[in-house]
Each structure stands twice: as C-alpha cells, then as structure tokens.
C-alpha cells in the first residue's frame, strides 16, 4: 500500500484540513503501536484501552500519521492527524477504497473448522499462477479483514480472505465489505453454539458469507452437510460442492495416511495423486475445497500437486513439531470444538508410536449449556489401548474425566483445573520421552501453547 495523505483523507471523509500534509506518503497501516513500521498510518482503536494513548509510541516506532477520533478534542500529538467520526469505521472505509483501487478478484473463506488451513491451501494453489495476498495469522474479523485488504501490494491479482464470526450479522458485514468473487464454507460444526443455540442458526450465520457475493460469483461449500445444501437452493450464483460422498462435484478416492501426511485421488483428476503435509481425512476435505477453487481459476493439475504438498501452514493448526527430547508433538492449540477434537483424535491414533501416545486436551469453549455433555461425549474416542496417557484441563473437562474414570487406570488419567496449567506442564514434562507422540488440542483460552513451548 502506498497512498498520499490527501487520498486517504478523501477516502475516509476527513473532518479536518490536511492541506499542509497532503503529499505525505503512507506505506502501511497498523492498529498495534508495537508493530508499527516506518511510514505507517496508525489507527487508534477503542477497546479495553484507548488506542489514542499509544499514538506517541506509534510515532517513535515509525508512524508518520494517525487517525484521530473527533470526540477526543485534545489532539496531543505532533504527528499529522486525520480527524474522523470513528477510527474503526475509517479503517474499514479506507480498505473499501483501496480494494476498489487495486481491484483483485476476492476469495472469501469461512467455516466452523478448517477455514485457516483451507485458506492457506487456496492461497498456495492460486499463487502458482497469480500474484496472491492472503490473510495472515487470525486477522479475520472487522479489524483484521480491512488490515488484510490494506496489506495488498498493487500487483495483487487474487486476495484470499479468511472470515470468522461469533455473532449473527458479522459475516454479512465482512462479505459486503470484501465483495467476494468466490465464497467458500468448509463445514458447519458446534463452534460458538453458545451464542447461536443450534446448528441450524450456525448454518444461517455461515451463509451470510454469500451476502456480498457478486452476481456472477461462485459459491463452493461442503455438500455432505444437509443444512448447507438446503440453504444453497436460495443462492442464484454458480455452485460447486466438495465432500467425502460421491454426490459432490469433488470427492476423494484412494486415501492413504502416513504418520505425517495424507495422499488421495479425486474423481475430478482420477490419474493424479495429491499429497498434503497433514494427517486426517478431515484435512482431505479442506484440500478438496481448495482444489475446487483452483479449478475455478484454471490452475493446472501439476501446479496443484506441488503446491498442496509444500503449502505453508499457519502456526498451531494441526502442525507436527519436535520436542526437546526428540518426541513428536502434534500441535493444534488455536481453537477447539467437538467435531475438531473427534477428527484429530481419530487421526492421531493411526500414527504409529514407539512407546506411548499422550493426549493433552483443554476445554472446548463457547459451547453453551450443553458443554459438559459435549465434553463427556469425547469418551467414545478415547481408550487406553490407543492413547496410553491422558491429560485434561478445564472446567468442562471434568465431565470427561468422570466418564473415563472406569476406563483409564488412575495413573494414566490426569485432570487439572484451568488455573493449574503450570502443574500439568510439570507433570507432563516428567513423563514424556523421546519415543512418545504428544497431542495438544484445546481452545486458545486454555493456553496450551504454554505447554507446547515448555516441551519444545
């Protein structure tokens, strides 16, 4: 991004005169003063803390201008200031303007599980033939999507945007902001069911991603999900489906799992074998979604093959790592819900272990009043013959422990309250050897990344 301040001021309807700074050039946008780089426009947002208090810090780190909310009448900075009604709205308005200016084709991705991995796969496939910008980290909300848009280089041809949600209307807003040419829904699960109540309502909310889908756009979704098939009938845009069942436009054949990767064929290219550096048939579904997008943009099969095999995985999404003792760690600690845990457990027990398989499971958050029951249901996927040692942490994991007491030996079943993560880490560290496989899976609020860091 490179824009003069006069252009930015016009895009966001600035409420002050910036004539003396109009030719000042801005090269990036940041809302975190700690991550500001030279030439940045700082966006002071109103959250738990008032972002205006960090303007001076942003200036020291290289910011050359800042937005300023008009209700903060005392402008206490020497930086050039663009006064706006609301700084978040100004960020969003600027991203709309910049999106129109660069005019890439936009691929929007959402889903209860797999959206980040699918986004990474799509971007890798498309990048074999196009200039691509994709969402970094978890920048998938009302702040992150505009920042992703503004991170585009002028040469960007395709923008792959991840969109998250935790309430009705959120995806509608993001979709209308980004105006996608192609929208993808990976699946419907139980994520955020605390706020939506039923899977039907989650499906309604996920379908909001089509709100801004262009009239000549493409809608790609998981055809194994009846809730999506029903709702897709109301969408007039061209549609393609993916899934494990043969009713879909893209479905897998000949799936072969190894300890660190999965290969498969598809009905679309029956002679081509694809490989992904991930375990689990659920990740084959994510790959099929990405292949459906790639086919839409006419990516050559040989390019798809290499890109899937080598794509970069966003950190802590079903990623194999090596611990300090040499043990293999399967890290999936960014988020968690019942569908995701069942899938990763099913994959984990297929990986050969020299000694033990050890699973560390943290609470699955935002499941509402049925949370204890959903945690207890995981017992059907856990057995001491397959996972020899089990660590559970969190309020709701107590319900799972109660279900497993008669199944697991007492010295193989370890429960810890949420506040005792350090005790879990200490005990886990004593048990693990170089010949073990360790799974870490939990919602981000449980902070199992601390256990990962300790093992590494």
The Cα–Cα gap between 271 and 397 comes to: 45
Q: What integer pLDDT is reported at residue 367 of this predicted model?
A: 87
The Cα–Cα gap between 350 and 358 comes to: 13
* pLDDT (mean) for 104-130: 96
* pLDDT (mean) for 96-104: 98
Confidence class of residue 110 from pLDDT cuts 50, 70 and 90? Answer: very high
The Cα–Cα gap between 218 and 238 comes to: 5
Q: What integer pLDDT is reported at residue 312 of this predicted model?
A: 86
In the chain, ranges of CATH 3.90.190.20 domains: 319-455
* pLDDT (mean) for 137-145: 94
112 marked as binding residue: yes
201 marked as binding residue: no
Whether domain 3-93 has CATH 3.40.1390.10: the reply is yes
186 marked as binding residue: no
β strands within 80-157, DSSP E: 81-84, 105-110, 132-134
* pLDDT (mean) for 227-241: 97
CATH fold label, 319-455: 3.90.190
Judged against a pLDDT cut of 90, whether residue 315 lies above it is answered with: no
Q: What are phi and psi of 268, to 5 degrees?
A: -70, -40
Confidence class of residue 369 from pLDDT cuts 50, 70 and 90? Answer: confident
- Are the beta carbons of 117 and 317 closer than 8 angstroms? yes
CATH number of 104-310: 3.40.1190.10
The Cα–Cα gap between 258 and 352 comes to: 9
Between these two residues, 339 and 131, which has the higher pLDDT value? 131
316 marked as binding residue: no
Confidence class of residue 357 from pLDDT cuts 50, 70 and 90? Answer: very high
Q: If residue 338 lies in a helix (H) or strand (E), which one and from where to where?
A: helix 338-348
116 marked as binding residue: yes
In the chain, ranges of CATH 3.40.1390.10 domains: 3-93
The Cα–Cα gap between 393 and 246 comes to: 39
Cβ atoms < 10 Å from Cβ of 43: 25
Question: How many residues comprise the chain?
Answer: 456
Q: What integer pLDDT is reported at residue 194 of this predicted model?
A: 63
Judged against a pLDDT cut of 90, whether residue 313 lies above it is answered with: no
- The overall average pLDDT reported for the chain is 94
Q: If residue 193 lies in a helix (H) or strand (E), which one and from where to where?
A: helix 193-196
Confidence class of residue 43 from pLDDT cuts 50, 70 and 90? Answer: very high
In the chain, ranges of CATH 3.40.1190.10 domains: 104-310
Find all residues with CB under 8 Å of 352, minimum gap 6, and list them: 259
430 marked as binding residue: no
Cβ burial of 269 (10 Å; 0-12, 13-18, 19+) is middle
pTM for the whole structure:
0.89
Judged against a pLDDT cut of 80, whether residue 125 lies above it is answered with: yes
Average the pLDDT over each of 8-17, 184-193, 271-280 and give the range with the smallest value.
Answer: 184-193
Cβ burial of 358 (10 Å; 0-12, 13-18, 19+) is buried
CA distances to 25, 44, 64, 79 from 87, in Å: 19, 7, 16, 16
51 marked as binding residue: no
Cβ burial of 170 (10 Å; 0-12, 13-18, 19+) is middle
Judged against a pLDDT cut of 80, whether residue 57 lies above it is answered with: yes
Judged against a pLDDT cut of 70, whether residue 192 lies above it is answered with: no
Q: What integer pLDDT is reported at residue 316 of this predicted model?
A: 62
Question: Which phi-psi region, left, alpha or beta, contains residue 13 (left: φ > 0; alpha: ψ -120 to 50)?
Answer: left
Percent of the chain past pLDDT 70, that is, above it, reads 98
Find the distance separating the first CA and the last CA of the chain, reported in whole Å.
37
Q: What integer pLDDT is reported at residue 335 of this predicted model?
A: 82
* pLDDT (mean) for 327-351: 90
Between these two residues, 199 and 86, which has the higher pLDDT value? 86
pLDDT digits (tens, 9 = 90+) for 384-436: 999 999 999 999 999 999 999 999 999 999 999 999 999 999 999 999 999 99
pLDDT digits (tens, 9 = 90+) for 148-187: 999 999 999 999 999 999 889 999 999 999 999 999 999 9
């Amino acid at each position: 991004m490179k824009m003069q301040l006069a252009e930015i001021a016009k895009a966001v309807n600035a409420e002050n005169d910036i004539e003396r700074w109009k030719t000042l050039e801005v090269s990036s946008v940041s809302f975190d003063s700690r991550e500001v780089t030279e030439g940045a426009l700082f966006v002071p947002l109103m959250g738990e803390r008032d972002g205006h208090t960090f303007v001076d810090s942003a200036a020291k780190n290289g910011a050359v201008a800042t937005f300023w909310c008009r209700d903060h009448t005392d402008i206490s900075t020497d930086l050039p200031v663009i006064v706006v009604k609301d700084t978040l709205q100004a960020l969003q308005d600027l991203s709309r303007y910049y999106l129109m200016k660069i005019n890439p084709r936009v691929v929007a991705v959402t889903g209860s599980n797999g959206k980040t991995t699918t986004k990474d796969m799509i971007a890798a496939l498309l990048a074999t033939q196009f200039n691509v910008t994709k969402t970094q980290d978890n920048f998938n909300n009302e702040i992150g999507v505009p920042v992703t848009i503004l991170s585009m280089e002028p040469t960007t041809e395709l923008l792959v945007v991840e969109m998250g949600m935790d309430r009705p209307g959120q995806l509608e807003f993001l979709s209308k902001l980004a105006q996608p040419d192609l929208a993808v829904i990976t699946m419907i699960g139980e994520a955020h069911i605390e706020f939506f109540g039923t899977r039907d309502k989650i499906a309604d909310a996920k379908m909001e991603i089509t709100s801004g889908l262009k009239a000549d756009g493409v809608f790609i979704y998981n055809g194994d999900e009846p809730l999506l098939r029903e709702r897709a009938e109301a969408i007039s845009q061209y549609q393609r489906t993916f899934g494990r069942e043969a009713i879909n436009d893209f479905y897998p054949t000949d799936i072969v799992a190894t300890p660190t990767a999965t290969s498969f064929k598809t009905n679309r290219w029956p002679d081509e074998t694809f490989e992904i550096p991930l375990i689990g048939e659920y990740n084959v579904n994510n790959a099929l979604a990405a292949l459906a997008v790639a086919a839409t943009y006419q990516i050559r099969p040989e390019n798809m093959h290499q890109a899937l095999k080598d794509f970069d995985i966003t950190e802590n999404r079903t990623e194999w790592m090596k611990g300090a003792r040499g043990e293999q760690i399967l890290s999936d600690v960014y988020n968690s819900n019942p569908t995701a845990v069942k899938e990763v457990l099913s994959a984990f027990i297929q990986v050969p272990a020299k000694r033990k398989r050890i699973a560390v499971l943290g609470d699955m958050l935002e499941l509402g009043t049925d949370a204890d029951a959903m945690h207890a249901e995981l017992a059907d996927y856990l057995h001491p013959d397959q996972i020899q040692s089990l660590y559970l942490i969190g309020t709701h994991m107590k319900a799972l422990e109660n279900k497993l007491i008669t199944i697991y030996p007492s010295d193989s079943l370890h429960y810890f309250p949420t506040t005792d993560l350090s005790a879990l880490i200490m005990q886990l560290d004593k048990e693990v050897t170089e010949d073990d496989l360790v799974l870490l899976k939990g919602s981000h609020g449980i902070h199992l990344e601390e256990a990962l860091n300790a093992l590494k």
